[in-house]
Amino acid sequence: MQFQVVFLGTAGSMPTPTRSLPCIAIRIMGELILFDCGEGAQRQIIRAGLGFPSKLRIFISHLHGDHVLGLPGMLQTLSLLGREVPLEIYGPPGVRDFIDAVSTTVRFLLTFDIIVNEVSEGLVFEGQKYVVRASWVDHTIPCLAYAIEEKPKPGTFYPEKALALGVPKGPLWKRLQMGSPVKLSNGRIITPNQVLGPPKPGVKVVYSGDTRPCRSVIELARNADLLIHEATFDDSLVDRAGRDGHSTASQAAEVALKAKAKRLALIHVSARYEDKLELILSQAKRVFPNTFLAEDFQVIDFYPKFAIGRVGHESAS
């Protein structure tokens, strides 16, 4: 089982010596999902050792430059690597025009098709093992927050129930554990609910995009295992945050608290705090103690247990 979050870019608006522009990678069962694609995202992927798998999808929150200007470089890199599998890109209305403009004005040969999906709120993608949902947030231009949720997993398997029903130990047990009914030699059908406990919820991670604090993010992040929320400014600039369509550290923490999220990761921090990051973190932790300030190349693993580490380093709980 794999569900891993890799922070590739955690700065806001402009990069700093230690932080690249917004890009969050999710590795889930052999697939790679990107939320936003700031400048140099493909270099961050290479440095992180993530590779460019065929199952790659990109979800764009909005069309401000710091969130999308990495797409042209990403497309060129994928072409130079000889990609042939179509690339799926999701985002708000306008993302197709942006991709078309890049394709017609930046002179490089695309070796693959681009499938652009302009989406609104609700279910925007469903895979075999997970779904992606979106909600509109409160920014200065149309902007989406995204939630990626594992589908519920089969509950605890009870061997004694299986034996009592006449299911012999072996391959039939495995099929029942995976959620499939089985047929016994006498023709009797045994269903998973007869030998399994209640389904177990999967991991849920929410990415806010750029936003003022708003109800839609609270609802999207309800009971999330991890909320990744922008915290562009410290609390003294709350009026500036409101005018610019952003959140302060404490406002992000209030969202996590109201959503009953398990953990909060702060990103999109203004470059003005490059030497004062503790200020942002301390303000948020006063409201929501289980907060951390995400850094480029930080890695969150959810299996076999929650752990925080860095690319190329051992994880620590």
Compute the mean pLDDT over every residue in the chain, rounded to the nearest whole number: 94
> What amino acid is encoded at 37 in this protein?
C
CATH number of 3-153+201-310: 3.60.15.10
| Every domain of the chain and the residues it spans | 3-153+201-310, 159-194
User: Are the C-beta atoms of 56 and 87 separated by less than 8 Å?
Assistant: yes
pLDDT band at 106 (very low <50, low <70, confident <90, very high): confident
Q: How many CB atoms lie within 10 A of CB 13?
A: 20
Query: What whole-number distance in Å separates Cα of residue 143 and Cα of residue 256?
Result: 19
* Residue, of 94 and 109, whose pLDDT is higher: 94
| Residues 15-49: tens digit of each pLDDT | 999 999 999 999 998 999 999 999 999 999 999 99
Which residue out of 66, 210, 234, 301 is catalytically annotated?
66
Cα separation, 251 vs 213, whole angstroms: 6
| Predicted pLDDT of residue 284 | 98
What integer pLDDT is reported at residue 313 of this predicted model?
Answer: 53
CA distance 213 to 313: 34
Question: What percent helix, strand, coil does the chain show, rounded to 5?
Answer: 30, 30, 45
Beta bridge partners of 28: 3, 31
pLDDT tens for residues 272-288? 998 899 999 999 999 99
Question: Can 225 be counted among the known catalytic residues?
Answer: no
Asked whether the predicted pLDDT for residue 90 surpasses 90, the reply is: yes
Tens of pLDDT, residue by residue over 133-149, are: 999 999 999 999 999 99
Single-letter amino acid, residue 50? L
Spatial CA neighbour of 10 closest among 43, 47, 31, 41: 41
pTM, full prediction:
0.90
Q: What pLDDT score was predicted for residue 317?
A: 46
